[in-house]
Amino acid sequence: MSQFTRKLASSASRVAVVETLNHYYDALFIPAIALWGPIVGGGIMTIGAIILNRIFIHAYNKSSLDWYGFEWIRLKVELAIGVKKALIIMAISPYFIFWCWWDPFAGFIFIRGKRPTGSFGWLDWVLLTCITTLGAIIWTAMIQGAIEFLMHLFGH
């Protein structure tokens, strides 16, 4: 087995684990919002998501692999237009918004990139909190809308 194949298989398996855990966690959003409403239920799920994403980030930083290919993308963009412009463009891109909705961990990695394991400062916490909250707001709004639609549809 070639080194490329081993790296690809390792990255794919790590992404599969993260995505599986994310989908199970996302499935908990529905009962949380149905039971506690969008503010309390969404808030509880957001706090849990921040903790879960921090664990994923720690594992990502410890690994030697670029799980999503974002480091390669960032390098190409930074070389072409510079670091500051690249960060601004990446932060306002629809791709970033998609990742915040689909997987805030990936949204964080897309913007911040890989860093040494011990370097997770207060600015990283702010960024992680904002990205995760954006994703949770999108999920909460979608779920609350679906709940209200179903309640209206069935006359409750």
pLDDT tens digits along 12-53: 777 787 778 877 887 888 889 889 999 999 999 999 999 999
Residue pLDDT, tens place only, 50-83: 999 998 888 888 887 777 777 777 777 777 877 7
Residue 63 is given by DSSP the state S
Q: Considering the entire predicted model, what is its pTM? A: 0.77
Q: Which two tokens stand for residue 77?
A: 């963009």
Where does the pLDDT of residue 116 fall: very low under 50, low under 70, confident under 90, or very high at 90 and above? low
Q: Could you please report the per-residue DSSP string of 87-147?
A: HHHHHHSHHHHHHHHH-HHHHHHHHH----TT---HHHHHHHHHHHHHHHHHHHHHHHHHH
Q: Determine the straight-line distance between the first and last CA of the chain, rounded to whole angstroms.
A: 59
What pLDDT does 156 receive?
Answer: 67
| d(C-alpha 148, C-alpha 150), whole Å | 5
| d(C-alpha 83, C-alpha 79), whole Å | 8
Q: Where are the domains of the chain?
A: 7-153
